[in-house]
Amino acid sequence: MTPKRKQKLFVILGLVSLAAIAVGLALYALRSNINLFFSPVQIAAGEAPFERQIRAGGMVKEGTVSRDRESLEVVFTVTDYVDDLEVRYSGILPDLFREGQGVVVVGELQSDGWLRADQVLARHDENYMPPEVAQALEEAGYSPADYQAKAAEVGKRLDAQGDGAGQN
């Protein structure tokens, strides 16, 4: 091999090595920022990692929202109507958050099986369901349209209870 070819080979190997190192460092940096979506069924099956940021979603189960009167602590259950996931959140919930509606929560799954949420994302309107929640319901064998109708029914019932309480 001539010295000129040897020099070209070393330059090419050096560039390939630098590119591989750059790609490796980029993937390592992105690894901690990626938060995958899991449904309550997947979490119950053990597919979700513990103590790593994930997104979980489903419908807020009716009758499960519990607020602490002395702090901003809220405990509620997210369900896909197959399995349930307890969520604990400390903060102000979105205005659109209510029972029977679709939500996506971002947080860490604890080894006890509950999720410590850092962020709660609620629906935009009565017909909206987060795409991840709709897909999870479909994978569980349910139609998201059925749950939108169910959510509207729960919403109307809760609104009627709220109106009745306000008239007293």
Report pLDDT digits (tens) over 111-132.
888 999 999 988 655 555 667 6
Is residue 104 over pLDDT 60? Answer: yes
Q: Please tell me the predicted confidence (pLDDT) of residue 145.
A: 64
Q: Is the dihedral of CA 119, 139, 149, 63 positive or negative?
A: negative
Find all residues with CB under 8 Å of 86, minimum gap 6, and list them. Answer: 75, 76, 77, 113, 114, 115
For 10, counting Cβ atoms within 10 Å of its Cβ (0-12 exposed, 13-18 middle, 19+ buried), the class is exposed
- CB count in 10 Å sphere of residue 157: 13
Q: How far is 107 from 63, CA to CA, in rounded Å?
A: 22
Q: Please tell me the predicted confidence (pLDDT) of residue 10.
A: 93
Strands 73-79 and 84-90: antiparallel
